[in-house]
Structure 1
């Protein structure tokens, strides 16, 4: 029952009372009957008023409950507003601050009670205030702004990058009567984005530098290889056709030219291969072949080099099925680099090459030497391009430092892996693990 209904009930009882009063005045002879009737009507009216009173009490209790719920919701909203991680402001349509939460006070470095009444534009630098006023008019007309980035300054005039989202507060007729503002300090994010852009730019420059380096290596290697092949070829022809006409000293000179030419050609080929691997242009040409014969060819080719240094070069084949699927030329290049390095960095003792099966799908090739070894510091870098073992004895060993880098890249193409164990002064062991059949 609402209040108007209750008032109507009271009026009805009053009218009945007045009517009874008139009847008592006019109908004195029948006063006893009239009195009984009056009492009955009054009882009826009192009952109706009592029912109305109970309904009002019940509605009043409900109103109290509703009011409590409203107060609780208002309290929750106020807590959310006050303890929100982002800065929130409530302003009028001119941008005068009416309410501010704690985050806003911290962001703008001013007490909340002092924020009230201030215009939000005082926290905007002079240079961008015209733009801010345009946005304020836009918000008034369009009702909403999202993710607007602008430089603001706190009460101490310290600038920061801010992201603003705002919406209008409208009355029941849709007229703008105020504005809600969310301010988020994005200085850290902008700094991180700037760092990411800087890193991306540096990565691009590094990639471009690497590409140019590979291109220069490729062009230079091609230009060097052509005349070098001519030198080696003509020296070999000279040696074969006129061997009997030269003195022993002249023969040794020609042989030295051929040997050093081939060594230089190997270095040039390594540079070409490295450039091709870096650009992703090197591919494998897979075929079936006998890996035992391949290892035999490698050791035969390097036997003279090992014999010159009085180093024993040994092979151990412990494999049943000697047929594999791989690129024989690239595998020979890979293993030759490892065996050649083992001989080059060994002054006394031996170098051994062992072939064994890990399982039916994988094989292991181990190259072990008794050379100078590799320090723990150098082990971390031996597969990097243009890096060589930093030991005094290696200063006499020539090379580009590309051999192991090419080995690593070729193994990636073949789906294989390589591990190294070494002690300075005791030697090194390289273990190459390869699939028996390389996938195309």
Structure 2
């Protein structure tokens, strides 16, 4: 019940009592009737007052419950504010701190009681305060400002990167009265971003270096191949026309020139292939072929290398349908690299080549040797360019360390995979899995 209504009822009872008193004074003869009437009026008035009192008591109870709920909500808000993981401030429109939670005090390394009443600009580095105050003036025209990145300075001078989210508090007329601030320490994020930028820059530099390296190799290889073809042509011409006229010593010299030229030309062709693969300029010339016949012919061509080292070279085929679609020249290049490498790094035992059928869509080529093997720590680098297990093997076995790198890139170009298993001193097994039908992108 409204207190005004309750007061009105009391006033009405008072007026009734005054009216009865006046009537008794005017007519003494009618006192008995008037007294009876007065008691009736007073009884009615008292009953109304009791009802009003009950209503007032019920309203007081409801008000007490509402106050308890408001207090509980206030305490809940206070706890959320106080124990939030992020820093929270409430400032007036001049930036003076009115409220701050525990996280905010920890961020600024200062007790809450010394934080309240301080201008927030006190915790901005001196050289950045002017820009901060200018932004404060612009806040009056904004409802919310998100991800405002600034630097904050703790009480003892430590500066850290922070992100601010600011919300404007307005009165009923829409005039700004305060700001609510959410503050987060983003030092770790900024460091991570800086590391990412450094990595991206490094990657760009590495890509540029790789591009320049590939371009230099390509140009240099082309420039070298032209005079080398002349050397090979003339040396072979000398051997064909004047072989029987040369004394043995001179004949041996010309043969060495021709053989060294062939070897150098093979190295140059390898570098050219690698540069084409690096720049995605090599395209497969696909056709249908018999993979068993190709592997058999390639293995036979390399058998003389194995026989020179007294190694066995065994071929086994387990393929129901030998017809596949691939580039025969590039597939042979893969096989030649793997088998010749196996022979090159094997001194005793032999090399085992197998063609397997995985399923109706895929086939596998396996080349196994009993050679020197590869340390486990080096297996992740085996397909890298210019890689050698032991740098001294470059002199002993020749090559520039591009063979396996080219094989890996060719197999990828064929939509296949290549894996290696090896133990030092026990040999290696290379396994190439290919789709039966390779398609161009």
TM-score range, shorter chain: over 0.9
Aligned partner of 2:63 in structure 1 is 63
Q: Given that residues 394 and 400 in structure 2 are in contact (C-alpha distance below 8 angstroms), is that contact kept between their aligned partners in structure 1?
A: no
Q: How does 1:247-396 map to 2 (within 5 A)?
A: 247-390=247-390, 395-396=395-396
Bigger shift: 422-431 or 270-279?
A: 422-431
1:277-321 C-alpha deviation (Å, 9 max, x unpaired): 222222222110122221233223323333333333332233332
Aligned partner of 1:83 in structure 2 is 83
Instruction: Provide the TM-score with structure 2 as the length reference.
Output: 0.94
Q: How does 1:5-404 map to 2 (within 5 A)?
A: 5-142=5-142, 144-390=144-390, 395-404=395-404
User: Are residues 294 and 155 of structure 1, via their aligned partners in 2, closer, same or farther at CA, if it must alter by over 3 Å?
Assistant: same
Q: Which runs of 5+ in 1 are unaligned?
A: none
Shift of 1:226: 1.9
Shift of 1:144: 4.2
User: Are residues 93 and 361 of structure 1, via their aligned partners in 2, closer, same or farther at CA, if it must alter by over 3 Å?
Assistant: closer
User: Are residues 417 and 176 of structure 1, via their aligned partners in 2, closer, same or farther at CA, if it must alter by over 3 Å?
Assistant: closer
Q: May I ask how many residue pairs the two structures share in their alignment?
A: 440
Bigger shift: 361-370 or 332-341?
A: 361-370
Aligned partner of 1:410 in structure 2 is 410
Instruction: Provide the TM-score with structure 1 as the length reference.
Output: 0.94
Bigger shift: 68-77 or 23-32?
A: 23-32
3-state SS of 2:381 partner: coil
User: Are residues 229 and 304 of structure 1, via their aligned partners in 2, closer, same or farther at CA, if it must alter by over 3 Å?
Assistant: farther
1:28-53 C-alpha deviation (Å, 9 max, x unpaired): 21222222222222122112112211
In 2, distance between residues paired with 1:14 and 1:235?
Answer: 141
Shift of 1:385: 1.0
In 1, distance between residues paired with 2:264 and 2:81?
Answer: 76
Q: Given that residues 166 and 179 in structure 1 are in contact (C-alpha distance below 8 angstroms), is that contact kept between their aligned partners in structure 2?
A: yes
User: Are residues 64 and 411 of structure 1, via their aligned partners in 2, closer, same or farther at CA, if it must alter by over 3 Å?
Assistant: same
In 2, distance between residues paired with 1:136 and 1:160?
Answer: 20
Q: Given that residues 386 and 401 in structure 2 are in contact (C-alpha distance below 8 angstroms), is that contact kept between their aligned partners in structure 1?
A: yes
In 1, distance between residues paired with 2:217 and 2:94?
Answer: 68
Q: Given that residues 146 and 166 in structure 2 are in contact (C-alpha distance below 8 angstroms), is that contact kept between their aligned partners in structure 1?
A: yes
Bigger shift: 16-25 or 413-422?
A: 413-422
User: Are residues 380 and 174 of structure 1, via their aligned partners in 2, closer, same or farther at CA, if it must alter by over 3 Å?
Assistant: closer
In 2, distance between residues paired with 1:140 and 1:424?
Answer: 73
Shift of 1:107: 0.9
Aligned-CA RMSD value: 2.0
Shift of 1:90: 1.8
Shift of 1:134: 1.5
In 2, distance between residues paired with 1:394 and 1:169?
Answer: 75
In 1, distance between residues paired with 2:438 and 2:373?
Answer: 31
In 2, distance between residues paired with 1:371 and 1:240?
Answer: 39
Q: Given that residues 378 and 390 in structure 1 are in contact (C-alpha distance below 8 angstroms), is that contact kept between their aligned partners in structure 2?
A: no
In 2, distance between residues paired with 1:208 and 1:394?
Answer: 28
Q: Which runs of 5+ in 2 are unaligned?
A: none
User: Are residues 394 and 178 of structure 1, via their aligned partners in 2, closer, same or farther at CA, if it must alter by over 3 Å?
Assistant: closer
